[in-house]
Amino acid sequence: MTRMHLHGFKIAGVGHTAVGTWRNPANQESRYTDLDYWTSTARTLEAGMFDSLFLADFPGINDVYGGSADTALREAIAVPINDPTMAISAMAAVTEHLGFAVTASTTYEQPYSFARRMTTLDHLTKGRLGWNVVTSATASAARNLGRAAQVPHDERYAIAEEFLEAVYALWEGSWEDGAVVRDPATGYVDPSKVHPAAHSGKYFSVPDPFLCEPSPQRTPTLFQAGASAAGKDFAAKHAEAVFLVETDPRRMRATVADIRSRTDRDPAFIAGVSVVVAETDEAARRRFENLVSYVSAEGTLARQSALMQLDFGAADIDSPLRFVETDGIRSFLERFTVGDPDRVWTPRQVAEQMARSLGAITVVGSPTTVADRLQEIQEAGGIDGFNVYDNDPLRTFPDFVEMVVPELQRRGVVPTEYPGKTLRENVTGGGPRLPLGHPGEAYRKVPVSR
Q: How far is CA 171 from the centre of its chain?
A: 21
Average pLDDT, the chain: 91
**What average pLDDT does the segment 61-77 reach?**
90
Structural contact between residues 27 and 393, judged by C-beta atoms closer than 8 angstroms: yes
* Distance from C-alpha of 334 to C-alpha of 98, rounded to nearest angstrom: 34
* Distance from C-alpha of 112 to C-alpha of 93, rounded to nearest angstrom: 26
| Chain segment 232-271, per-residue pLDDT in tens | 999 999 999 999 988 889 989 999 999 999 999 999 999 9
The dotted CATH code for 5-291+361-443 is: 3.20.20.30
> Does residue 140 surpass a pLDDT of 70?
yes
pLDDT-derived band of residue 348, with 50, 70 and 90 as boundaries? confident
> What predicted TM-score, i.e. pTM, was given to this entire model?
0.93
314 C-beta neighbours (distance < 10 Å), count? 12
Helices (H), 128-274: 139-144, 153-168, 229-238, 249-260
In the chain, domain spans: 5-291+361-443
Q: Residue 254 has what pLDDT?
A: 93
Q: Residue 374 has what pLDDT?
A: 98
> Does residue 52 surpass a pLDDT of 60?
yes
Q: Residue 240 has what pLDDT?
A: 98
Q: Which of 176, 219, 173 is nearest to 198 (CA)?
A: 173
Q: Residue 449 has what pLDDT?
A: 44
Most distant CA atoms of the chain, gap in Å: 76
Q: Which residues contact 293 (CB under 8 A, 6 or more apart)?
A: none
* Distance from C-alpha of 108 to C-alpha of 381, rounded to nearest angstrom: 33
pLDDT-derived band of residue 450, with 50, 70 and 90 as boundaries? very low
| Chain segment 102-118, per-residue pLDDT in tens | 999 999 999 999 999 99
* Distance from C-alpha of 219 to C-alpha of 200, rounded to nearest angstrom: 20
* Distance from C-alpha of 305 to C-alpha of 328, rounded to nearest angstrom: 9
> Does residue 161 surpass a pLDDT of 90?
yes
> What is the Cα gyration radius of the chain?
22
